[in-house]
Amino acid sequence: MQQLENHACFGGQQQVWQHPSTSLLCDMRFGVYLPPQALAGQRCPVLYWLSGLTCTEQNFITKAGAQHSAAQHGFILVAPDTSPRGTEVADDAAYDLGQGAGFYLNATQAPWAAHYRMEDYVVQELPALIEAHFPASTHRAISGHSMGGHGALTLALKYPGRYASVSAFSPIVAPSQVPWGEKAFTAYLGTDRSAWQAHDAVALVAQERPERLPLLIDQGLADDFLAAQLRPELLEAACQAAGHPLTLRRHAGYDHSYYFIASLIGDHLAHHAQALGA
């Protein structure tokens, strides 16, 4: 594992690391923010942040301003890249498929199946690595934006007990029913839509579940992708039908950008801190 960046930030350190991933069979980068409490030797809970389409590990760490709240609450922040990367990794010219668009699942279809195993990477490999190399406790929270909000919701629902807390900004809640998701799932998972259900928050909420982890979602009402791609009302209806606890906050005037995330990331960190007793 190789350290690429290290910047003092709010009394802690914002680092970027690169490592050969055994799940993705390529080199991967991730950002990790170590709050002052971690530098002082305390084991800290970890918030995993999953970014949206076209992002790398850089977007969240440079634009969200999350380090401020993480330093207050003593959270480690981990921000992985959004897909496998490299010249040997399958890609597509479109921004919403291939590199930068991994959708946080394990692909089953050629040519994607060889490298696109972001679900294994985010749920298994990365936490094992973080918990071995940094002063991280095994208390985990997960959040994300857009495609990453989809990732956070589906992984938290799919792996009960793995995350103490989950939230999302402007998530794709029903990928099986919207163009971004239909395109990606057809490519990565094939045309049999029954295989898509395990990666669709609306479908997962509708299942019988061993636990009902509360969902916190913030959505801007001036978001250009709201009506066609995000459709939070579908998750709202599914949660209502299943009795799944959901806090869905709609914000007039806010769009899909990091300006929205920055405005509310402090709220999300406070929510996760309360859930984790941090």
Q: Tell me which residues are annotated as active site.
A: 146, 223, 256
Shorter beta-carbon distance to its own copies: residue 88 or 224: 224
Q: Is the bond into 127 cis (omega within 30 degrees of 0)?
A: no
* Least distance in angstroms from the C-beta of 11 to its own copies: 7
**Which residues, listed in sequence order, are joined to residue 169 by a DSSP beta bridge?**
145, 218
Shorter beta-carbon distance to its own copies: residue 214 or 266: 266
Shorter beta-carbon distance to its own copies: residue 191 or 259: 259
Binding site for its own copies (CB under 8 A): 7-11, 13-14, 62-63, 65, 67-68, 220, 222, 251, 253-255, 257-260, 262-263
Buried b (16+ CB within 10 A) or exposed e, 145-169: bbbbbbbbbbbbbbeeeebbbbbbb
Longest Cα–Cα distance in the chain? 51
Q: Helices 258-276 and 66-73, interaxial angle, to 10°?
A: 10
Q: How many Å apart are CA 271 and CA 9, to the nearest integer?
A: 22
Tell me if 129 sits within 8 A of 35, measured CB to CB: no
* Least distance in angstroms from the C-beta of 192 to its own copies: 40
Shorter beta-carbon distance to its own copies: residue 242 or 262: 262
